[in-house]
Amino acid sequence: MSALSSLDLDLYPRSIVSAAHADWALARDKGERRLVALLPAGSPALNELEGERGEHQGRTLVVGPASPHNAEALRRLLPWLAPAPIGTRTSAGMGDRLGLATPGHVRAVRAAAPGVAPIFAQQSIREMSRTGRTPCQVLDDATWGAFEEGWRDGVGADADHLKTPEEIDRCLEAGFTLFTFDPGAFVDGSADSADPVALKQAMEALPWAALEDSPPALAGRYLGRVFDLGPSAVTFDGATLTRAAVKYGAAVAHVKDLSRHLAQAARGRAFEVEVSVDETDTPTSHAEHAYVATELARLGVRWVSLAPRFVGRFEKGVDYIGDLAAFEQHIAGHAAIAAALGPYKLSLHSGSDKFSIYPVAARLARGLVHLKTAGTSYLEALRVAAALEPALFREIYRFACERYEEDRASYHVSARLDRAVAAAASVRDEELPALLDHFDARQVLHVTFGSVLTATDSGGRPRFGDRLMAFLRRSPEAYADALERHLVRHLAPFAPQQ
């Protein structure tokens, strides 16, 4: 039994651990987390921690805040809390827009998929800006949550949808290890329908210098080449190659630039890269995937996962919309390409609540798969609020309906506001949680998270964010239990088969 158990402190029992010649735990103190450490007198670790000092059983007791300083020290002293590259292991990212979801995420991984490598710190720059959080806050919140639940099997940290070198630098400095590059602004979706004249002009206008290439050299590498994918093959004729290059050539160049910047800025630190072209209007064909992967490799980019734009609709917060047979055929080809040209993982973006496709993706990817979820954990927080704080939930719902038409602009959603408003009309308090299962209501709540969390009243005071956070801090078990139940459904299909 740890010596910490004899202290008159309200410890999180799963957090107690002996390591680095010391005993460690997290304690509750008036709704706040407190770091507790019992170290030998004169331990060098004492210089790394901030907090009050005392004596206990001949050792030095430190009780300090769950501060950025102590979170950083904890990642050094308890290395399993420090993010590290995951590689091609089956993995899942569980974004947390509130900073309170990690305990529930840990429980879901333990319950459903202990062999899946977790990424508890995952957030895009877009989400950080909308919630008013920083990369350091995202990483620290995940650290404290993992420590609280006693997670000791390693973690990743995903700086999602990065578009500029400046964004890379911010997340690198914070300690992230997975960098997801989003070159969507450089993808030319018009290539799918452009006529031959327009395609020829667009081909000539590609950034050939940045691609370290030329049209004749490109043609020499691809025309007549067969990409053997086992049960199928990809070949390039002139039209197929031109459309692939026009659609994705500038994006390839941008990823190359971001990758080289990251490699230089990292100064030898371990990192890994994901490439995302999912937030585009048209699907990624198998030939286009082969082109992107081949060109990135030629330019020296190394990546562990790639997110194509799949057929069908991956809308936020709801199940897959489309023909499941067509999706199965489409992802089968992409999985074959990832295995043959890598191996690397297929990444399922906007992966929350896509229950109908999880078994297909897991089976065809054969472990080379990464699932990304994010907003679904925020929605589960609102479900708990709907059950336990109905008045607060009603205020948030009305405000979300007011904000929806503006906030939906940067998301793939098709919810109709009139249906969302009608769904909540005359709903009794005990029926409110069911709104989180209603298609239109769910999407309205999903995309308005930033407005809800940062809204202020006429006096500049937060309208909802502080109240929602205070409620969740008063109800940590209710939130963690809800998250575990919900995320288990996401993770179980991806659990490695014994």
Active site residues: 160, 274
Whole-angstrom distance, CA of residue 131 vs CA of residue 374: 13
Those residues with Cβ within 8 angstroms of residue 8's Cβ, 6 or more apart along the chain or in another chain: none
CB atoms within 10 A of CB 49: 22
CB atoms within 10 A of CB 303: 21
Whole-angstrom distance, CA of residue 424 vs CA of residue 405: 17
Give burial (CB, 10 Å; 0-12/13-18/19+) of 110.
middle
